[in-house]
Amino acid sequence: MTANTLPGSAVTTLGGFLRDRRARLAPDPAASGRRRTPGLRREEVALRAGVSVTWYTWLEQGRGGPPSDEVLERLSHALELDVAAREVLFLLAQHRPPPLSPAPTSAVPAALQRVLDAMTGSPAIVKTPSWDIVAWNAAATAVLADYASVPARERNVLRRMFTDPAARAHLTDWEENARFALGVLRVDIARGGGHAEAEALISELLVSSPEFRRLWAENEVRSQGFGMKRFVGSDGQALALETSNFPVEGAEGLTMIIFTPVTEADAQVVTAMIAKHALSTAKVDA
């Protein structure tokens, strides 16, 4: 076993990873010459990636310093890497995951929606970096907002938070929640190297909301992680929910947020709100 591999041939250096991935690719059927080893030659990978053969050889030999994001993206395409392999490439080369793409996906996998629907006692939503809500479950509809009943534009947490008095009244600690959301937004924009939808939303709210201008000027940054939100229910009940945030694998830029009742009393309030919403929906349908 060499220094570059672990049991099972798990490549642990950039050079070893590049050699391994190069060996997996089939050469062009029209390529000439006998091949002593499987896969592409270094010259062929360098040509695909638009880099010099010398530079690519140095990368496989662990020389030349860490490559730029642009070079790594070109190598990712040249080596036909999937999402997981692209992430490993960046981790080995720069000791960090790749930046988010400038236009994160808003498509929610059907499997993820089934996960949301299975959480019958906990509100759960899926958001984009600009805080657009793109998926939710029945508990979220009953406790947070009836997202299905409003246009997509109105499903944005920040727009509702800063322009809708009813949404503000729903949050006991409105200012801290607003500060948290803006801090997360700053981090998500930085990760993606910019985000057109988020920047358009910021421009809009800077004009329309003095409170947004005040809080945005604080330059707060926050990680999503775990937190606590306190709400005022539709019947005036106090409600505390813990928040857990999870990036969605295979859907770059999406985050799932789960709201879990803190106490048994909170769980009972959630259950009552879900039952009340289901009853009102049934009456409308009838």
pTM of this prediction?
0.71
Residue 96 pLDDT: 85
Residue 11 pLDDT: 65
Q: How far is it, in rounded angstroms, from Cα 156 to Cα 161?
A: 8
Q: How far is it, in rounded angstroms, from Cα 142 to Cα 138?
A: 6
* 110-285 is classed CATH 3.40.50.12780: no
Domain chopping of the chain, boundaries: 5-94, 110-285
Residue 204 pLDDT: 95
Q: Which residues pair with 10 in a beta bridge?
A: 6
For helices 14-24 and 53-60, give the axis angle rounded to 10 degrees.
Answer: 110
Residue 38 pLDDT: 75
Nearest to 116 by CA among 100, 131, 137: 137
Residue 105 pLDDT: 57
Q: Which helix (H) or strand (E) holds 211?
A: helix 210-216
Residue 3 pLDDT: 41
Return the CATH number of the domain spanning residue range 5-94. Answer: 1.10.260.40
Rg (CA), the chain: 24
DSSP state, residue 223: -
Strand pairing class (255-261; 124-127): antiparallel
Q: Which residues contact 285 (CB under 8 A, 6 or more apart)?
A: none
Residue 223 pLDDT: 82
Nearest to 227 by CA among 159, 168, 181: 181
Q: If the chain, 286 residues long, is cut into consecutive pieces of 10 residues, what is the mean pLDDT of each piece?
A: 42 87 82 69 92 92 85 92 86 84 66 94 94 95 92 93 92 94 89 78 95 94 87 83 90 89 95 90 69
Q: How far is it, in rounded angstroms, from Cα 264 to Cα 110?
A: 31
Q: What is the DSSP string of 92-108?
A: HHHSSPPPPPSS---PP
Amino acid sitting at position 150: V
Residue 6 pLDDT: 43
Residue 5 pLDDT: 40
Q: Which residues contact 9 (CB under 8 A, 6 or more apart)?
A: 20
Q: Where are the beta strands (DSSP E) in the chain?
A: 5-6, 10-11, 124-127, 133-136, 226-232, 238-247, 255-261
Residue 35 pLDDT: 62
Residue 33 pLDDT: 59
Q: Give the length of the chain.
A: 286
Identical topology for domains 5-94 and 110-285: no
Nearest to 50 by CA among 34, 36, 71: 71
- The 3 state secondary structure assigned to 244-280 is EEEECCCCCCCEEEEEEECCHHHHHHHHHHHHHHHHH
DSSP state, residue 224: -
Amino acid sitting at position 286: A
